Amino acid sequence: MRGVVVALGVSMAVAAGPAVASAAPVSIDKVPTPQLSWTDCADGFQCGKASVPLDYDRPTGTKIDLALIKLPATDPAHRIGTLFVNFGGPGASGLQRLRERGKWPWLFSDELRARFDLVSWDPRGIANSTAVRCFDSLAEQQDFFGSFPEMPGDPSGNAAFYAKSKELADRCSAKAGPILEHVSTANTARDLELLRRAVGDPKLNYHGISYGTQLGATYANLFPNRIRAMVFDGTMDFAGNSTGQNGNGKSVPLDTRQDVATGIAQTFEQFLRLCTEAGPKCAFSSGDPKAKWAALTARAKQAPIVSNGETWTYSGIINAAADLSDSRGWPDIAALLQRLYDAPATPALRASAAVAGEQYTSNRTESFNAIQCSDSDVPTDPAVYSRYAESEDQRVPYFGRIAVLDMMSCAYWKAKDTDRYTGPWNRPTSAEILVLNNRYDPSTPVHGARDGAAELARARVFVTEGYGHSSMYVPSTCTEKVKRDYLISGTFPAAGQTCTIDASPFAG
C-alpha cells in the first residue's frame, strides 16, 4: 500500500527531482545475474540475498545487497514459476509482509500458492536490504519522530511542521550516503529484472499492491517484452505520480493533483453509512453519526480531548478517521470516535516516549521519503503548500489538508536520482495487465486507477464493490479468484463483471 508518514498517519507518495526521463541502460542485459542461495528461515519460508549494482550506469562498480524471502509452491509438479510480490509503501519490509500475509487465503489462495513460488524482497533503501539510514540508533529515530508536530489543523501550525519536515530532509542528506541518489523506482525495476533472471523465469509474473503498481508500471515500460502476467492492485495514476498530469507536478502537491482527499472523504462517507446500518455492531452508530462527527471535530478544534490518559487533538482525530485502508479495522475506529465523543472536557498535555534498547531495523518513514522524493516532481516553495492547505480544506472538509501536507519533506529534499523514470507509460507489453481496485479506496481512488490504466498500452480495470485499500485489506474470495484465473491461465473476467467483499466491515 502507499506508505504511512509518522507525522500524519495517512499518506500518498510525493517527491522532488528533475523531470528527466531515462530508459533502462543498454548494458542491463550484460549485468551478471545474481546467484541466489535459499536457506530455511522458519514456518515454510526460505530466505536469501542478491547482490546488485548500486548504480546501473556503472554496473561493475559498488554493489548493494537485497534481502529476499520465498514461500515455495505447494505443488512443484505443476509449478508455473515465481510470482514476485511488492506489497506497497514504499518503505515497508517485503520480508515481513510476505511472512505475515503470504498465507492469507483471500490474498493468496491455496490454488494460487500451489502453482507459484511467492517471492518478495526489501527493495533497495529499505529495512534488511542496503538501507537509507538517517539516524544513528532506534532511540534517536524514535525521539525525532516522537517530537514531530501533527499535521497543522490551521495555519498557526505550519511553521513548526515545515521546520521539522525540513529537518528530516537535512538529516537524511547528512547521514544516508550515496544510496540516496540511487533509490528511484526505476532502479528497483532494474533490480527486479535481475531477480527474474536469477530465479530462472523466462518472463515476469508480478503482483504489485498500491505503490507496487508504480513499480510494476515502471518495469512494464522499461522491459515491455519480458512480462508473462501482471496484476496491479490498488492502482496509482503513474503519470500523475511522477510529473503530474499536464506536467503540473512542480506547481501542485502530489496527492492534491491526484485528488486523494476526495477518495478519503468518499470512503469515510461509506464508513458512516455502514456504521449507521450496522446498529449496535458499530460503536458510533447511536444517534446520528454524521452529526456526532461534526460535533466531535468542532469540539476538538476548540481544545484537545482527553480519554483513557491519551490526548487527542483535532489533527490527531482527523488522521485516525482517515486511516481507512484496512476495513477490518473500522470497528476500532468507530469505538475510538465514540469514546472521544463521550469523553469529558479535561485538558492535558500530550506526551511521547522514545523506544530504547531495540535494534534500529525499520526505516519505513526515511525510505518512503527517499524513494518518493526521487520519483516525482513537487513544489519546493512552502507558500504553495500553505495556499493549497487552505483551499483544499474548504473544498474537501476534514481531509483536504492530508493530500497537501502528507509529504512536506520532499519540498526540501536535496538528493536526486537522475535515473528515475518519467515515461512514456504506454509502451506495448507482451501481456495485458489486470488492474484491480475497490470502489471506495481512500489511498488509491478508483478514478486514479482508471487514469493509470488508461496510460498503459494494454490494461483492463476490474472493480470490487468494497471499502478500503486494495484486496490485501479488503477480503474478497471472488476477487482473488479473478486474480488467480488471470495469473494461472491468462483469462480475464467478463466485461461488466464485479465482485463483492466477503463481509461488511461491521459484520462482527
Select from 435, 421, 368, 303 the least CA-distant residue to 126.
Answer: 368
Q: Which helix (H) or strand (E) holds 238?
A: helix 238-242
- pLDDT (average), residues 173-181: 96
Its domain, for residue 494, covers 29-130+179-242+421-498
Residue with cell 533497495: 124
3-class SS of residue 78: helix
Q: Give the Cα separation of 336 and 338 in Å (integer).
A: 5
Pairing mode, strands 63-71 and 116-122: antiparallel
Select from 43, 46, 83 the least CA-distant residue to 67.
Answer: 46
- pLDDT (average), residues 430-437: 98
Q: For residue 346, tell me if it sits in a domain.
A: no
Q: Give the Cα separation of 157 and 150 in Å (integer).
A: 8
Q: Determine how many CB atoms are found less than 10 A away from the CB of residue 171.
A: 18
Asked whether the predicted pLDDT for residue 30 surpasses 50, the reply is yes
User: What is the total count of domains within the chain?
Assistant: 1
Q: For residue 11, tell me if it sits in a domain.
A: no
Q: What is the pLDDT of residues 303-352, one digit of tens each?
A: 999 999 999 999 999 999 999 999 999 999 999 999 999 998 754 433 33
- pLDDT (average), residues 47-62: 96
Q: For residue 152, tell me if it sits in a domain.
A: no
Q: Give the Cα separation of 14 and 475 in Å (integer).
A: 28
Q: Give the Cα separation of 461 and 172 in Å (integer).
A: 38
Confidence of residue 245 (pLDDT cuts 50, 70, 90): confident
Predicted pLDDT at 5: 41
Select from 344, 317, 352, 345 the least CA-distant residue to 333.
Answer: 317
Confidence of residue 361 (pLDDT cuts 50, 70, 90): low
Confidence of residue 154 (pLDDT cuts 50, 70, 90): confident
Q: For residue 191, tell me if it sits in a domain.
A: yes
Predicted pLDDT at 360: 56
Q: Give the Cα separation of 368 and 350 in Å (integer).
A: 26
Q: For residue 217, tell me if it sits in a domain.
A: yes
Distance between first and last Cα of the chain: 25
Q: For residue 491, tell me if it sits in a domain.
A: yes
Predicted pLDDT at 131: 96
Contact criterion met (CB below 8 Å) for 421 and 455: no
Predicted pLDDT at 357: 37
Q: Which helix (H) or strand (E) holds 318?
A: helix 314-322
For the whole model, what pTM was predicted?
A: 0.93
Select from 359, 367, 354 the least CA-distant residue to 133.
Answer: 367
Q: What is the pLDDT of residues 183-219, one digit of tens each?
A: 999 999 999 999 999 999 999 999 999 999 999 999 9
Q: For residue 390, tell me if it sits in a domain.
A: no
Whole-number CA gyration radius for the chain: 22
Predicted pLDDT at 153: 86
Q: Determine how many CB atoms are found less than 10 A away from the CB of residue 381.
A: 11
CATH code for the domain in which residue 475 is found = 3.40.50.1820
Q: Give the Cα separation of 104 and 87 in Å (integer).
A: 13
Using alpha carbons, list the distances in angstroms from residue 431 to 111, 131, 254, 336.
22, 33, 30, 46
Q: For residue 42, tell me if it sits in a domain.
A: yes
Predicted pLDDT at 161: 96
Contact criterion met (CB below 8 Å) for 105 and 115: no
